[in-house]
Structure 1
Amino acid sequence: MTDSLPDLSVGIAWCLAWGEEIKPQFNREILQQMRKAMLENQQIPEEVQSIVEGVRELEDLKFPDTLAELKKLTEDYSSLWNSKIGLIYGGATKIKQYVFEASKLPDVRGGSALLDRINLVDLPAFFGKHHKDQKSVSISQWLSEHFPGLEAALIRELIIYSTGGNILAFCPAAFVDHLCDAIEKRYTWETLTANSCAVGDCFKFLELRLGVLPDTIDENCFWLEKYRQNRNHHLLEAYYRQPDVSDPKEEFKNRKSFNELVTKLAIKFNQRRSGNHTENRPSRRYPPMFETHPYLVRDESGRRSAIAKIDEIASQPLVSEALVRKKIVGQIAKDETLKDDLPPWFTELELGWQPTGIKIKSWVAEFKDYLEKEENSQQKDKYYSECRDPKCYQPKEAGTVRELGNVCNGFIAYIYADGNNMGGYIQKEVKTPQDYQKFSQDILKATEKAVYYALSEHLRPHQLKNLTDPDIENKNGDWIHPFEIITIGGDDVFLIVPANKALEVAKTLGEEFEKELLKASGYNSDQTYSSKKVHRCHGDNLPTGNNQCELSMSTGVLITAEKTPIYYAEKLTNQLLKSAKERAKVLRKQGYYGGTIDFLTMKSVTMIASSIKEFREQGLTKEVGTQKLRLYAAAYTLHEIGGLLKAVQALQDANFPRSQLYQIRSLLERGKRTAILNYRYFSSRLTQGKDALKQDFEEVWCSAKTNDGIIAPWMYEDGKRDPEKPENPYYETIWRDLVDLFYFSEKTNTDSSKPSEQTTEANQ
């Protein structure tokens, strides 16, 4: 959704030529001539030639190894030392609170689309980077009314990145506070209730290469020599030390770069977001809030006073103004024809606020554009392979969660994925503004392609059937895209997909993300690992442990009923993501840099009363005699997820009676021997598929550690996976997950209604 940006050196030269005052030190025509000349490699105006030369010298500046060299640099490049440039960082905060406060999918889609539009369209428009489909000058008018003079000082080459819900950009030093205030105000102006935060600071131009420096360079200045002498001090260790780096000079150089400036802004961002005072700016201590009287009617979210009841919408919702904005933006994102012809229910409200004339495009529309590209024709054919009728080549976006649930018997899955080790990679590898720009573009490109590929690989358009709810029963027979992309923000992804394809989509998403980054330069890792120590699923297709991508994704997947409230599902999915990330951190100590997935199947909303972690520790961890049993094995590596899906297929091929699956599951907590004996009893009675079950479940998952035996359905763990936090040995099992996934398989188990076999107990 973003175009490649020109060289940032143009923006840096612009700020240097503008100066540190509101009024530029050169005529603005000269500044524009300089900008054009740099972009088109033409003759630089004589007045600003020295400035452009200084910027180019900054790019090739050698890092000073001693304090004397540093001091000499400040003297040799006095213009770069005495001039300042503004750097701002900002964006939306508490995004999930704003997006998921609504209970219905169209409102969630609208909230997400509105934030995306502000971040990807409005804020770049501050800098003159107008969207290709923009047909109005509303942003310019808004800036001229509220922040006169700001737009004239900004150009598109100042933007470092504007993705993932945040913006990082340069600006002339005098406009730092104005630009930060404009960013915060734009979010509130458009959404009314979304929280946002923006901070900035002025830095010396030399600091763009050497990190934060004191105002005076003298013998008291802390530099590489003093770091070498005090390297083991606990404060310096916390600030400078990095994993896999042992050279003090490299540690110091990795920190003393442009990255240190961004870190300073990130700290200021957290302080302002928490309500702390910011000098020379209005307080953010009291974020937007619309209180309601206890006797007034509230909107359907129950948070704000209702202003109207919309009879034209089937559910006749009560809406507040904040909710109205979500609904109209959600409708425009879903049906792009509405942008020029707003529905009567909206125009009759006469709010005094209008959606901008910018084409608000949903992520599903972006997915369709992806399929139309020539290089993706194979994915397009695969995606539409079950939709042969030409009239069906135009499936619509799902209007409600119930329509998505129609794909898989009323069950859906929430997928929340987020990048691993992003901060560590930035600290070690991203050292200049140009690096930040490239990194941001590479991550967004890889994430978008991975999402679109995973969806087209495993999902197919679905024809709605058997809908009985009054507001959607007229849609029976319609074709829909069987997914919803809530957001793609940098390395952050939130999807809703059919329950029976959730793990396939999540697995492919993680794999393709790494493959796309490996195609770009600079993301390969020379780190190797022992596959048999990292992956619990062994077999012929065990990864080699070589050629890893340094960055990966962890994913939380919640499989649940369509009636589960979206805000509650998001909360649980976030917990699963954190669990997957914890597993990734543990495995990283063993050299594994790949992705991880944690998932949970929840058929009842009241299944979990507290957190997932407590549920597993208290409900799924047992002490039977001297044995510690974990009735779960999550989280999994991507390879293990593949093995898990193969094991489910083996159970299907074996036509394993569902009643017997449930019996073995209920016997797990009675002890290791009881479960083993009953599994062997039931599996021995199978009339087909025994070899596949042995090959894809017993041998690859449940091999004994000390002999050639099989301890299915258990796996032994020695408790030393995390060397920093060793545990006592325990047994764990994937059986519960197999049973849950078996329920959502496409193949119906014809033996599931057979009477239960007699349970066989082992002698204790």
Structure 2
Amino acid sequence: MGTPQALLAADTDRTQDYVFESARLPEIRGASRQLDDLDRRAANLVRQRGGQVILSGGGRLLAIVPLDEAEALALEVEKEYVSETRVATTTVDWRPLPPGALEQGYPPDPGRPFGTLMNWIEGWLRRKKESRETVPFWESLPHTERCRSCQVRPVSPATLQKYPDWPLCDVCYAKRTYEGRFAWFHRFQGFLKRNPDLERRYYAGESPFPDSPADAGKRFARHTPQDLTEIGEACGSREGYVGFIYLDGDDMGEVFARLPTWQACAGLSQAVQKAAEEAVLRALAIHLHPAWVFPSPARASVDEMPSEEERDELGRMRIHPFEIITVGGDDVMLIVPADRAIPIAAEIARGFQAGVAKRFAAEGLSHPLTMSGGVVLAADHNPVRVLRDLAKELAVEAKRARREAGAGEGYLDFLVLRSADILDRRVARLRGTYPYTLPVPGRKPLSLLGRPYPASTLQAIWEELHHLRRARFPASQMHLLAEALLRGRREATLFYLYQKARDKGGGFAHLDRILEVARNPDDEPGPLPWSIPPKRMGYSYRTALWDVAELYTFVS
């Protein structure tokens, strides 16, 4: 008989709260990298104890371990997280595997896929997570000064020597100073070195490696962003706006549940992680360039202002205009300038699907593995946590639309956040009200939104909008067309046709083509700018013109 084995599963507990409890990018960056590194350390502990890692990343761990090591290993993994972060925790559970269970699944039945065992152990794990008795606790007395970053824990006197003007608690100090906090920027630079064509494209022909030390400061210094202000300043079309991107693999649980063996699960898990990382780095290299920005005032409080040698004659410095928060498993979260967010998100969705296609086919699975998500375009003064929450809501809407369409590619939804007064309502509920849905007496309402879109469709809309911009189509006229929609279908149609008849620059030919590209394939063509949805829908007409007008603002 072989060595008795156990199936071990782990999942982090509300660690997004740990990452986003501070609004400052350095703390978010350090916390995210802490958790990514802890995932790797947990997987290494399993291997050191003679186990086999099946899934690892994004706060999750699934492994086959020797039965006599399972309990000690579970305790050690849980201890690692608390020891490193002092706040973030993970829940670990394990169950003995009966002989032959790896081949028979759960309940035991010859030929049952290994994924049924995954569902079984995850059920036990959820039960343990819900029955957790204690959590880390920090006492904050009324007379203590609160941490400037998280506003939750008391300031630690030990941090005052390094940051006298920005007092921090021990936890936020550990995040800000975490040794591996710049790992994603280092990986990105390594990716560029391995792909010279993309390196030249990203640096726009400028060598990232100066020939003389004198050039190294002003022209070639590559800082990381201190806050959203610096990323927003890199937005060429509308300065001060950023794009928060959240993407997630579609139906991943169902996919893994169909895989026959643990080896197939492990292979696909590795392929998913690699494809997601490659897709993100490639998309950034294709659509971004280093940006000249003025240093954020926040740098002064933590003594991270660039030197005179690192600034140009206007006092600006060079930064990488992005922040990768996480690429864990099939989850992707990053922040970029708003005018690059849509093409970057579409490129990531496309690259991910292409990256896992070969491995997916090798496992005998015909339906493509896709990635859907949401993009929030917002002013840089909005809290990062708010942008994350909205992006996750948009991802839910995108996934729902993909399932209803039965599409073979990922979907993307987007939101232009113009005012904080919408934050008291959920996105789906908001879109059922004015101005996104117009009531019509005695008939079904009108819908002014076409989103979510397939990723390829949204990319095509974005490219056509660039043609429209080159045709010098006035942004003011675009907004007038969108505002006319609020007066009803007939008035909006007449106004659209009137403006089209007066057009001398050929812009409406591009706009007609954009509306045709954006039209849902289930809709019948209607009088422009409208289409006629199927009768099962809850509205009589819909148009993508409102979507187009909102996106046009960000096309540079």
What is the TM-score normalised by the length of structure 2? 0.89
SS of the residue 1:319 aligns to:
coil
Q: How many Å separate the matches in 2 of 1:703 and 1:162?
A: 38
Q: Which residue is equivalent to 2:380?
A: 562
- Cα distance 1:427–1:706, how it changes in 2: closer, same or farther (>3 A)? closer
Are the equivalent residues in 2 in contact too, given 1:647–1:738 (CA < 8 A)?
Answer: no
Name the stretch that deviates more: 691-700 or 396-405. Answer: 691-700
- Cα distance 1:208–1:388, how it changes in 2: closer, same or farther (>3 A)? closer
Q: Structure 1: which 5+ runs fail to align? A: 1-78, 130-153, 215-222, 224-251, 276-283, 335-360, 528-548, 720-725, 747-764
The yes-or-no answer on 1:92 pairing with 2:12 is yes
Are the equivalent residues in 1 in contact too, given 2:461–2:517 (CA < 8 A)?
Answer: no
Q: Percent identity?
A: 26
- Cα distance 1:310–1:684, how it changes in 2: closer, same or farther (>3 A)? farther
The yes-or-no answer on 1:160 pairing with 2:54 is yes
Once the two structures are TM-superposed, the CA of residue 694 in structure 1 deviates from its matched residue by 5.1
Q: How many Å separate the matches in 2 of 1:414 and 1:207?
A: 43
Question: Which amino acid in the other structure matches residue 102 of structure 2?
Answer: L
Higher gyration radius (CA): 1
**2:180 equivalent among 333, 344, 368:** 333
Q: Which residue is equivalent to 1:659?
A: 476
Can you list the C-alpha shifts for 1:269-288, whole angstroms capped at 9, x where unaligned? 1111111xxxxxxxx32222
Q: Which residue is equivalent to 1:761?
A: none
Once the two structures are TM-superposed, the CA of residue 684 in structure 1 deviates from its matched residue by 2.6
- Cα distance 1:524–1:158, how it changes in 2: closer, same or farther (>3 A)? closer
Once the two structures are TM-superposed, the CA of residue 425 in structure 1 deviates from its matched residue by 1.4
SS of the residue 1:574 aligns to:
helix
Name the stretch that deviates more: 464-473 or 555-564. Answer: 464-473
Once the two structures are TM-superposed, the CA of residue 310 in structure 1 deviates from its matched residue by 4.8
The yes-or-no answer on 1:403 pairing with 2:322 is no
Q: Which residue is equivalent to 1:279?
A: none
Q: Which residue is equivalent to 2:265?
A: 436
Once the two structures are TM-superposed, the CA of residue 400 in structure 1 deviates from its matched residue by 2.0
Q: How many Å separate the matches in 2 of 1:687 and 1:523?
A: 54
**1:618 equivalent among 433, 446, 455:** 433
**2:390 equivalent among 572, 579, 597:** 572
Q: Which residue is equivalent to 1:672?
A: 489
The yes-or-no answer on 1:385 pairing with 2:204 is yes
Can you list the C-alpha shifts for 1:280-309, whole angstroms capped at 9, x where unaligned? xxxx32222223233432212122222238
Q: How many Å separate the matches in 2 of 1:315 and 1:555?
A: 41
**1:365 equivalent among 186, 189, 204:** 186
How do 1:610-649 and structure 2 match up within 5 A? 610-619=425-434, 620-625=436-441, 626-649=443-466
Are the equivalent residues in 2 in contact too, given 1:650–1:692 (CA < 8 A)?
Answer: no
Once the two structures are TM-superposed, the CA of residue 259 in structure 1 deviates from its matched residue by 2.2
Can you list the C-alpha shifts for 1:182-210, whole angstroms capped at 9, x where unaligned? 11111111111113110001112311111
Are the equivalent residues in 2 in contact too, given 1:397–1:481 (CA < 8 A)?
Answer: yes
SS of the residue 1:197 aligns to:
strand
Can you list the C-alpha shifts for 1:611-663, whole angstroms capped at 9, x where unaligned? 11111112321212324211211111112202321342243234233333222
Q: Which residue is equivalent to 1:583?
A: 401
Once the two structures are TM-superposed, the CA of residue 608 in structure 1 deviates from its matched residue by 3.2
Q: How many Å separate the matches in 1 of 2:144 and 2:305?
A: 33
Are the equivalent residues in 1 in contact too, given 2:200–2:207 (CA < 8 A)?
Answer: no
Q: Which residue is equivalent to 1:543?
A: none
- Cα distance 1:258–1:693, how it changes in 2: closer, same or farther (>3 A)? closer
How many correspondences in the alignment?
532
- Cα distance 1:525–1:500, how it changes in 2: closer, same or farther (>3 A)? farther
Can you list the C-alpha shifts for 1:238-261, whole angstroms capped at 9, x where unaligned? xxxxxxxxxxxxxx84xx233222
Q: How many Å separate the matches in 1 of 2:164 and 2:462?
A: 40
Are the equivalent residues in 2 in contact too, given 1:444–1:489 (CA < 8 A)?
Answer: yes
How do 1:131-530 and structure 2 match up within 5 A? 154-155=49-50, 158-212=52-106, 253=111, 256-275=112-131, 284-300=132-148, 301-308=150-157, 310=159, 316-329=165-178, 332-334=179-181, 362-373=183-194, 376-385=195-204, 387-388=206-207, 390=210, 391=216, 392-393=219-220, 395-408=222-235, 409-428=239-258, 430-465=259-294, 471=300, 474=306, 476-520=315-359, 522=361
- Cα distance 1:702–1:96, how it changes in 2: closer, same or farther (>3 A)? closer
Can you list the C-alpha shifts for 1:33-88, whole angstroms capped at 9, x where unaligned? xxxxxxxxxxxxxxxxxxxxxxxxxxxxxxxxxxxxxxxxxxxxxx36xx631221
Q: How many Å separate the matches in 2 of 1:705 and 1:586?
A: 11
Q: How many Å separate the matches in 1 of 2:381 and 2:205?
A: 28
Q: Which residue is equivalent to 1:741?
A: 551
Q: Report which structure shows greater RCO (CA 8 Å, sep ≥6).
A: 2
Once the two structures are TM-superposed, the CA of residue 264 in structure 1 deviates from its matched residue by 1.4
Q: How many Å separate the matches in 2 of 1:295 and 1:204?
A: 57
Can you list the C-alpha shifts for 1:327-361, whole angstroms capped at 9, x where unaligned? 111xx335xxxxxxxxxxxxxxxxxxxxxxxxxx5
Are the equivalent residues in 2 in contact too, given 1:443–1:491 (CA < 8 A)?
Answer: yes
Question: Which amino acid in the other structure matches residue 460 of structure 1?
Answer: H
Question: Which amino acid in the other structure matches residue 517 of structure 1?
Answer: V
Q: How many Å separate the matches in 1 of 2:491 and 2:324?
A: 45
SS of the residue 1:495 aligns to:
strand
- Cα distance 1:397–1:410, how it changes in 2: closer, same or farther (>3 A)? same
Question: Which amino acid in the other structure matches residue 411 of structure 1?
Answer: Y
Q: How many Å separate the matches in 1 of 2:141 and 2:523?
A: 69
Name the stretch that deviates more: 478-487 or 650-659. Answer: 650-659
Question: Which amino acid in the other structure matches residue 623 of structure 1?
Answer: P
Q: Which residue is equivalent to 2:38?
A: 118
Q: Which residue is equivalent to 1:760?
A: none
Question: Which amino acid in the other structure matches residue 574 of structure 1?
Answer: K
Once the two structures are TM-superposed, the CA of residue 520 in structure 1 deviates from its matched residue by 3.0
Q: How many Å separate the matches in 2 of 1:634 and 1:382?
A: 31
What is the TM-score normalised by the length of structure 1? 0.65
Q: How many Å separate the matches in 2 of 1:364 and 1:664?
A: 42
Question: Which amino acid in the other structure matches residue 565 of structure 1?
Answer: P
Q: Structure 2: which 5+ runs fail to align? A: 211-215
Q: How many Å separate the matches in 2 of 1:274 and 1:574?
A: 23
Q: How many Å separate the matches in 1 of 2:267 and 2:477?
A: 54
SS of the residue 1:594 aligns to:
coil
Q: How many Å separate the matches in 2 of 1:481 and 1:557?
A: 20
Are the equivalent residues in 2 in contact too, given 1:416–1:495 (CA < 8 A)?
Answer: yes
Question: Which amino acid in the other structure matches residue 411 of structure 2?
Answer: T
Q: Which residue is equivalent to 2:409?
A: 594
SS of the residue 2:433 aligns to:
helix
- Cα distance 1:171–1:434, how it changes in 2: closer, same or farther (>3 A)? same
Can you list the C-alpha shifts for 1:525-544, whole angstroms capped at 9, x where unaligned? 897xxxxxxxxxxxxxxxxx
SS of the residue 1:294 aligns to:
coil
Question: Which amino acid in the other structure matches residue 279 of structure 2?
Answer: A
Are the equivalent residues in 1 in contact too, given 2:478–2:549 (CA < 8 A)?
Answer: yes
**1:712 equivalent among 528, 532, 535:** 528
The yes-or-no answer on 1:696 pairing with 2:513 is yes
Are the equivalent residues in 2 in contact too, given 1:702–1:713 (CA < 8 A)?
Answer: no
Q: How many Å separate the matches in 2 of 1:706 and 1:555?
A: 23
Are the equivalent residues in 1 in contact too, given 2:523–2:532 (CA < 8 A)?
Answer: no
- Cα distance 1:93–1:499, how it changes in 2: closer, same or farther (>3 A)? same
Q: Which residue is equivalent to 2:213?
A: none
SS of the residue 1:162 aligns to:
strand
